[in-house]
Copies of this chain bind each other. A is one copy, B any other.
């Protein structure tokens, strides 16, 4: 049953705006307290994370970690600018190092380009740069037992991978085994034909899941067709992490609100929205199991 075999995760930004030693303690405690198995730790600036301290706090609370980031304009590996590609490769290496130090086995997100508004389509040479850089990253990650995830996001956040189909084609072009698709229901609701077929298209290449509501608020209060999504996960036998992601202007740092266009206060009580998310996942999983037998 989905939800019993899967690690249930929560994005750190539900709890904290940054990742100081105090933020880390608060977030990891809250993750366990709300009933999650895993916390997704943003590595936008890997050097700012005290990895040894974080690893100790994770172990104290019996919480697993996954790591994620999105690249910036100056680290955009899908750029035609060699300096940006080089800087992006260096950032991804730093993130890979931090992922290993944290004892995590998944480094995912918008690793294939800039997380932000583009004003031009992706170029052929830019895509070639991204494929080559991700190939190098995967080669460095494989001996560490780390899987690299590619998260398709909506058109306003990338010109690269908007759909699972595009991510699968990218993975084919990279041609390594430790590269997986990371599906996010918020983005799927905008870019995909429905919430089930991308799960089936990915099949065993699905490696990570974000549960996000259509407006990025509490699960079950928007337009995302979660019953179809959970049924597809059950049918596909997905055993990877399922991570709750939500943003509210009440909790987001100004630079995050600016990057992700978080203008509304979806919620004010993080613990309440997180506990409701765990209940929601268990209900949806049970209903999907009952339907799919």
* Cβ contact within 8 Å between A159 and B261: yes
Q: Residue among A121, A122, A224, A261 with the most chain B CB within 10 A?
A: A261
Tell me the complex Cα distance, A60–B2, Å. Answer: 61
Chain B's nearest CB lies how many Å from the CB of A246?
14
Contact of A258 among B120, B122, B261 (CB under 8 A): B120
Q: Are A162 and B119 in contact, with the CB atoms below 8 A?
A: no
Mark contacts of A200-215 with chain B using CB atoms, 8 A cut-off: 1 yes-contact digit, 0 otherwise: 0000000000000011
Q: How long is the Cα–Cα vector from A264 to B154 in the complex, in angstroms?
A: 12
Cβ contacts under 8 Å, A225 to chain B: 223
A191 at the interface (CB under 8 A from B): yes
Contact A189 B162 (CB under 8 A): no
A121–B157 CA distance with the chains assembled, in angstroms: 18
With CB as the reference atom, state the residue of chain B lying closest to A155.
B261
A125-177: which have CB < 8 Å to B?
154-157, 159, 162
| Assembly CA distance A224 to B214 (angstroms) | 11
Q: Which chain B residues border A222 with CB–CB below 8 Å? A: 192-194
Bound Cα distance from A155 to B156, whole angstroms: 10
Chain B contacts of A193 at CB under 8 A? 215, 221-223
- Residue of B122, B194, B223, B249 near A192 (CB, 8 A) is B223
A21 CB–B CB distance under 8 Å: no
Which residue in chain B gives the minimum CB-CB distance to A217? Answer: B193
For A159, the chain B residues whose CB sits under 8 A away are 261, 263
For residue A287, CB closer than 8 A to chain B, the reply is no
- Least CB distance from A159 to B in Å reads 5
Asked whether, in the complex, the Cβ of B223 is within 8 Å of the Cβ of A117, the reply is: no
Q: How far is the CA of A261 from the CA of B119 in the complex (A)?
A: 7
Which residues in B have their C-beta under 8 angstroms from that of A224?
223
Q: Does A195 contact B (CB under 8 A)?
A: yes
The answer to whether B117 touches A156 (Cβ under 8 A) is yes
Q: Is the Cβ of A258 less than 8 Å from the Cβ of B190?
A: no
With A156-B156, A192-B215, A193-B215 given, name 16 new contacts (CB 8 A): A119-B258, A122-B263, A155-B262, A155-B264, A156-B157, A156-B261, A159-B261, A159-B263, A189-B190, A190-B190, A190-B223, A192-B222, A193-B222, A195-B223, A223-B224, A223-B225
| Interface, chain A (partner B; CB < 8 A) | 117-122, 154-157, 159, 162, 188-195, 214-215, 221-225, 249, 257-258, 261-264
- A-B contacts, 27 of them at CB < 8 A, read A117-B261, A118-B261, A121-B257, A122-B263, A155-B261, A155-B262, A156-B261, A162-B263, A162-B264, A189-B189, A189-B190, A189-B214, A189-B223, A190-B190, A190-B214, A190-B215, A190-B223, A191-B214, A192-B222, A192-B223, A193-B215, A193-B221, A193-B222, A193-B223, A194-B222, A223-B223, A223-B225
